Amino acid sequence: MGISKIGTPLEDAICEGIIYRLKSAPAGPVKYPYLIVSDNIENSNMSDHADIITISSFRRAKERLRKRKIRNGIGLEMMITPIRKLDGIGVAKWFEDIRDLRLFCHSTHCQLILSSGANSIYEMVSGRCFDAILRNCDIEPDKHWHGMEKWIEECLSKRVSV
Amino acid sequence: MLKRRPKRRYISILHAGQPSDAINMMIKRHMELFGCISTERAAIRLMQSENNRMIIRCKLEQLDSVLISIAFSELPAITMGISGSIHRLQKSISNSLVYC
């Protein structure tokens, strides 16, 4: 599939080479790499400690994000799976949102994150498909993945691990 | 003047549901996003299907739009591999399945 790093919600078993998505920071040091994900823009307590804020609609979230003055280096994530259920116009609007979000991230020093949001193997998105989506939004895939890699490394280096 | 055959790409897809439903959903999505002319130009064809895996063919110049249609298809589907020939694609899929 051409994807070297994946993120998944933490369940019982811990696998090597996977970055876990947590809703809140663990109480003590842990043996696995993790990122804190929040979908609550309003709750400053939640989003201040989060590495990633998941946005369902950038159109609606734009003003709130501007007012909240989110900190530099936070990841703003948009998922593909919920968009599959929309009609053509909805998908086209999502593509425009990605273009806007990219400009917003550029001006606020945030990281644009595109993720599959998969709940099953069929909902996963291959690297080639991600590249095609990025090209369609006038984003150079190589540059984007390079930025993502750097951003993930920076986020994980701040964490305390055993 | 020589009439050159357009370059094509073969795409291996893992999908939910029936193969006919999966490809129809993909074509429908392509039409919604890129229009009828572009969809006709893409010449998306079902080449092989077995259980929940299928191989489709499209024109190289429309490859990105076809990949986008797969990613946004209502019936979930995932691109497993892309190749210029069906034999090479089958070989690479069987190799990757061995590693899995």
Residue A39 and residue A61 in contact, taking contact as beta carbons nearer than 8 Å: no
A126 vs B contacts (CB less than 8 Å): 78-80
What is the C-alpha to C-alpha distance for residues A62 and A74, in angstroms, rounded to an integer? Answer: 15
With DSSP H G I counted as helix, E B as strand and the rest as coil, what are the percentages for chain A, rounded to 5? Answer: 45, 20, 35
- Kind of pairing between the strands at A52-54 and A75-79: parallel
* Cβ–Cβ pairs < 8 A, chains A and B: 61
Q: How far is residue B100's CA from residue B95's CA, in Å, rounded to a whole number?
A: 9
The pLDDT value given to residue B100: 42
- State the average pLDDT over residues B12-28: 94
Helices H / strands E in chain B, number of each? 4, 4
Closest by Cβ to B32, choosing from A83, A87, A128: A87
What confidence score (pLDDT) does residue B81 get? 93
* pLDDT band, very low/low/confident/very high, at B3 (cuts 50, 70, 90): confident
Which residue in B14, B64, B71 is closest to A80 by CB distance? B71
**Which residue stretches of chain A have pLDDT < 50?**
none
Partner A contacted by B29 (CB < 8 A):
yes
Of A85, A91, A123, the CB nearest to B33: A91
Q: Does residue B77 surpass a pLDDT of 90?
A: yes
Q: Which long-range contacts (CB under 8 A, 24 or more apart) does A24-30 make?
A: A24/A49, A25/A49, A29/A160, A29/A161, A29/A162, A30/A161, A30/A162
The answer to whether ipTM exceeds 0.85 is yes
Q: Which residue of B has its CA nearest to A123?
A: B76
So what's the pLDDT on residue A4? 65
Name the residue type at position B99.
Y
Q: Measure CB to CB from residue B79 to each of A121, A126, A135 and give the nearest one.
A: A126
Pick from A21-35, B13-27, B70-84: least confident: A21-35
- The Cα A62–Cα A47 span in angstroms is 15
pLDDT confidence of residue A31: 82
CA of A136 vs chain B CAs: smallest distance (Å):
8
**Among A residues 120-149, those touching chain B with beta carbons less than 8 Å apart:** 120-126, 128-130, 132-133, 135-136
Total-model pTM: 0.88
Q: Please answer yes or no on whether B16 and A84 come within 8 Å at the CB atom.
A: no
Q: Give kind and range of the element (H or E) at residue A131.
A: helix A127-136
pLDDT of residue A45: 57
Residue pair A57/A97 in contact by the 8 Å Cβ criterion:
yes
